[in-house]
Amino acid sequence: MSQTNTNQKKRIALNYLYATLIGILVIACAVTIALVTSRNNSQVDIDPGQTVSGNTFVLPMQGATVMKDYSGSELQYNDSLEQWEIHKAVDFKPGDSLDVYAIADGTVSNVYINHLEGRVIEITHADGLVSIYKSLVEDVSVSVGDRVSAGQVIGQAGNTMSNELRSEVHLHLEMTLDGIKVDPNDYLSLGDK
């Protein structure tokens, strides 16, 4: 057998090996995305309120579905940015209503709009806790300085976050405690996800 034929067979074998490895990686990625999607697309179990540190918390939307859950370390795929990233928020897909509610009593500390986050409302609660509602439509029901009660309508979910445009209409809810992002699941009764 000539050296040319041997080299050609080696190249064919290597190409076959590379194609097999790429196929395995594609399947592994598809399975990972399917698992993350099935874990995150679950109906929220409505709870009238949960009390944490003396504050009563209610859900930010009624009949909503958790599209993407909080993750402080596990990477989740962002379709809009086409990259894997952590997600220090909970994304809610609306049910029958787009209304967004204040999750607890507090004072509106900021209302703004920017390209990446869309329309945003920040509410400061007791003990250094702040709830941050992103991807809202432009018209909101509150202004800076307003006192709000748990369950009060503050705005409506939209599709205004440029870094989550492929997520469709949703509410992106973040929470901070003393300026550090925390898991909304620690405050809200979201049921089994």
Tens digits of per-residue pLDDT, 8-49? 766 766 666 555 556 555 454 444 444 443 334 433 333 445
Mean pLDDT of the chain: 78
C-beta separation of 62 from 45 below 8 A: no
Instruction: Specify the pTM.
Output: 0.70
pLDDT in tens, 141-179: 999 999 999 999 999 999 887 666 666 899 999 999 999
C-beta separation of 154 from 61 below 8 A: no
Greatest distance between any 2 Cα atoms in the chain: 86
pLDDT the model gives residue 148 = 97
